[in-house]
Structures are given as structure tokens and as C-alpha cells.
A and B are shown apart, each in its own frame.
Chain A
């Protein structure tokens, strides 16, 4: 046990003496949180929509008014008048417009005749995000135009009301649990991956191997020290991220306790897994090359940036065995939902389970000789 603690002491002294690791581990996830949180979280504004009016009647005027109202208030789009649908279509193609709405001839007359005429919508569907947002916006606008001026006495349409369980969660808050897990992962990748292999290549481990330290003590010491570093990285990012995203979970002791449980289990799982992957690696280039691959393979399928429910089956299969998924799920439950301890128990169990299996394999694979 003393020898295990000596390894922990060495690692932590080095860590605190060179805060570069901590900073590096923090910077990447923080930048990602701020940039992605702001880049992806917002609603579409100032899209350019062309309107071609072949009708000119009173109903077409209502459409124009509705559009102008959106342009003046929500500012989802700006409206440009066009005389010809060909010209508008060409501008959509050329990227000068994001969409074009065509009010066909006889539109007003057909509305009065109760013939349910259609408005034409030309969208640039090479950008799915903008086109679907505009489609949604214009659809709701059309629905509003369809409402009768006087309310009907008998309800003949079924409506669904959405009940939101939690206060509005913007994208940055949604990203925060993933960013915390990512900070821990980067800390593990640098501390448990790169520095470990660098030590090996420099012969530092040769120095340890000639002492009576056992495999379990050496591997355990490295994993324990790595876990402490990752917990610190995770906690600092929770603190900074909560400030940036505006969360108050750190002021609730019970949630803080759950958060700590999640951080401990996550760092244990990440460290043991990383050590298992790196235990036989000799070349210092390998962990550096693996960094990008592991990051993509573990972070993105975890539901940190996009919901797992939207994945194809093969990606869901990766998500199901990815410790990141459970870390992100648990952290989301604690940070965004305050769902209680019972909700994070399966996550904690999975993380501890996979960590224990990885630790067992890492000790088995660790070579006591060069």
C-alpha cells in the first residue's frame, strides 16, 4: 500500500508542479462548450426569403402582412419582393435567397371559393437545418392564416399541448455534461496515456521495475493518481461551465454529492480503460495518434452533442458500450434535471463495472519486465 501511495505521491507532485496538464485538459472542452454552445444553440434569424406575388388580391395581402410581421418581430427571415418565380428560383439556387414563396394567380379568389389553394415554397435543401427551420416557420404561419376570424363553437380539431418538465434548457447547458466528461477524458488521455508512455520511453519505468513494487501496486497507483487528476479536471470544469451556462447545481449539497459520485465513477472508468489500452504500448506517438480517434469514437456517440435516439442502430450499439454515454447521462440527470440519486445508479454501476473489468485486464496485461 505504501508503494502504491508513493506512485500516487509522485504523480500528484508532478501534476501540481506543472499546471499545464490541468490547463490543457480544461481549455479544449471549455472552448468547445462556448463555441458549440453558441454556434448550435441559437434559432435561425435573418434568413432571406423571396416572395413572388402573382395574385395581388386581399388574401395575398394577408400573407404579405404575416411575413412582414415575422420579419419585424421574430426576425427569422427578411422578405424580398420578386416579380418572377424564375428569378426567385435562380436566386435560391445561387445562394442569394434561402427560400422563395410563390403566391399563385387567383389565390384570393380561390380562398373565397373555399378551394384551399396552395402557396408554393422553394427551399435550398442542401442545408437541411435552415430549410427545415423555414419550412416549420412558414407552416405555422400558414396554419395561423387558416384560423377562422371568429372562433368556432364546436371544437373540431384535436390539439396537443406540450408540458415542459424543466425550465428552458439552452444548447450550452445541454452541452455542459458532455464538456465535463470531455475535460476528464482529455486529462486521462494526457495524464494516463501520453505521460505514461513518455515515462516508459524515457526509461523512468525501468527505474520502478527494479524496485520490489508489484504489478497491482504500480497499476493501481497510476490509475488512482489519474483518477484524482480527472476528478479535479471534471470539478473545475463543472464550476467554470456552470458559471458560463448559468447553472446553480453547485449550491445544492445533495446534487453536489451526486455530482461527486458521478465524477469519481467516470474518472475511474476512463482511467482504467485508458490504462488497459495503453498498457502494452511503447511508442510515444501512439497515444497522440489515438487521441483524435478515441475522442470521436467515444465523445460523439455518447449523446453529448446530439441525442442517441437520432443515431442509426450501429451507432447506438457503440453508444451502449461507451462509458462516455453513461457519464453524460448521469451528469445530465444531476446538472439539468435534479432527478434524484436513483436515476444515476445504473450509470454509476455501469461505470464502476466497466472500470473494474478494465482494471483487471490492465493488471493482467501489464508486463513486470521490459
Chain B
């Protein structure tokens, strides 16, 4: 497999603010690659550089071998992009939205019509073909935009938070359609999201970006393994003693204990069953009441929190001359 997307030490600065601080990664052809990170981590900036929307400050990027900075037109021809905001025209019909984009890519008429038919069927919008886009739900508009992004048969598909703002049913529908389209058209997909389940379900490999840097890159399974503890026990105790965190940490196979406050503890362990038994015994011996108890496998949420920390990201993402784009929720 050759690198469909190659990023070499890419940097983006807005004045003194460094949004992307030297990221290197490679996405193989046919791969679905997820970019994960908290708000303001630099995901959208990275994807905007790769899709020629923002000039690269330093480093290089190649899409299908074309240099993004030197030959942006070649890059634009071979990629489809779904920006974060819903950008379909609400006054135009579904068919018109697609046909105008096909014309922007100079797709010949016969191929245009064929592609539109095929894609509308793939995203299940055939019967809405002549409906004005304003009448569609958010999920349907997203599906239309996915179809629109593929109307010129690109090989690389960029999706910037494609399911943000959608209800769970619409999200699942979007995922299924993406998987289906990917298999049918042999797409290489780069997707940014902050939904862990989305990344887990769709991506072959995931890169976690935080503070403009790559903090982890691997398959979802291996990322989960990399987090200390394969299982997480969450237990709430009635009036635990002051050394309770240390006593929980001393149990067999426990790798870490996090005190969440109000008697709630998260215990990470490599053996959920055994640690749970020992934890219950310890509580009984000490005469401490267990109010709630749950045992979970490690999820990508744990991976995410492990790599990016728990503090809120309220830092200023607005730098000189740069405003974050509007969210789909802002659409009319």
C-alpha cells in the first residue's frame, strides 16, 4: 500500500499562535484514518491545510503524490471534501446541489448524471431528488453533502466532523453509508471527529492530536491496549477512609486509581474479575458500604482521556486573523 496522504512535519502559525506544531503522518490508500482531539486541538487546521484551504507555514504535505503547496489544483481534483459546516444551498434542490458541484469539477454530462443517480441511491435520497434542501433534516443534508463530495469520483475523501449535531440514528446511518461507499469506490478516508464511538466504528487507524501535536497513532485496538488497565472499575463508597486510594492501588493487578471525589474511584486493572472480587472483599472487611459498582472494558474514551488529559480546553483558539468556522448548528 502506498501513501495516499503524506504529511511531513507540518506547521501552522497564526501570528505568534502555533495551531499545528509539526505533525508527521502517512495514510495508506484504502485506509480510513481518524484524527481525534479535543476542541481547538488543531484537527480542523490540519485538515484545512491538507485540503488547500489554508497555506502551510512549514513542512510539506502530499495527496496522491501531489504537493499540496506546489500543485493545489491537482490535489483539489483528486479529493472530495466535506467541510465542518453544512454548506449545501438550502434554496436549491438535492439534484441541483449535486449537479452544480459536478460542474465545478468539469464532470462531463453523461458521467455527471450517472454519478448523481448512483450516489443518491447510495445515500438513500433518490425520492428527495427534486426536494428543496431547506426541507431536509440535518442528517439528510449531511448525506447529501457526502454524496456531493463524491460526485467527481475522488479517490481521497476528507470529512471534517461529519456527524456533529446529528441525532444517534442519523449518525449510525451516516456511518453505514460511509462504509458502504468506501467499499464500493475504494476510497481513502481521512475523518476528524471527537466522537470516540465514531472513530472506533469507522477507522482503521487513529491519530490523537492535542495542543497541535500528535500524541498517539495506532489502530483502535492497540490504542486501547496501550492505556494502563484493560478494564475500568468505577465504584462509589460510603465514607471511605483517607488512605482508601492507596489501599485500592495495592490490590492485585491494579495499574492506577483515580479519585473522582464524593467517594467515587476509577480503578484501572488488567484483570477486571479478580480485582472486583478483591475490592468487594476489602470493602466488606473494612465495613465500608459500596453504593455503586460497575466494570467496563477500556473504550476509546479512556484512550482519549489518557492521552489528552481531563482539563477543559477553554484556551483561546482564535488567533490573529483567524476565526473558527461556524458549526452546523448555526445553519438556517
A-to-B contact residues, CB < 8 Å? 2-3, 5-7, 9-10, 13-14, 17-18, 201-204, 206-213, 282, 369-370
Contacts and interface: CB of A to CB of B under 8 A. Distances in A.
Contact of A210 (B76, B100, B323, B332): B76
A204 B85 CA distance: 8
A84 B132 CA distance: 77
Given A201-B326, A202-B330, A210-B53, 4 more contacts: A10-B89, A14-B91, A202-B332, A370-B53
Contacts of A213: 104
Contact of A202 (B51, B77, B323, B331): B331
Contacts of B325: 203, 206
Contact of B132 (A3, A7, A17, A370): A17
Interface in B93-139: 96, 100-101, 103-106, 132
B85 A212 contact: no
Contacts of A14: 89, 91-92
B77 A204 contact: no
Kindly state the interface size class of chain B when it binds its partner. 20 to 34
B261 to A, nearest CB: 40
Nearest to B97: A10
B73 A204 contact: no
A218 to B, nearest CB: 9
Interface in B22-53: 48, 51-53
Nearest to A217: B104
A202 B104 contact: no
Interface of B: 48, 51-55, 73, 76-77, 79, 81, 83-87, 89, 91-92, 96, 100-101, 103-106, 132, 323, 325-326, 330-332
B40 to A, nearest CB: 17
B83 A13 contact: no
B79 A210 contact: yes
A131 B126 CA distance: 73
Nearest to A16: B91
A209 B106 contact: no
17 contacts: A2-B103, A3-B103, A3-B106, A6-B100, A13-B92, A202-B85, A202-B330, A202-B331, A203-B83, A206-B87, A206-B325, A207-B101, A208-B104, A209-B52, A210-B83, A212-B104, A369-B55
A369 B53 contact: yes
B52 A203 contact: no
A14 to B, nearest CB: 4
B104 A206 contact: no
Given A9-B100, A201-B326, A212 B77 contact: yes
Contact of B326 (A5, A203, A207, A212): A203
B91 A18 contact: yes
Contact of B104 (A17, A211, A282, A370): A211
Given A14-B92, A210-B79, A203 B87 contact: yes
Nearest to A370: B53
Nearest to A6: B103
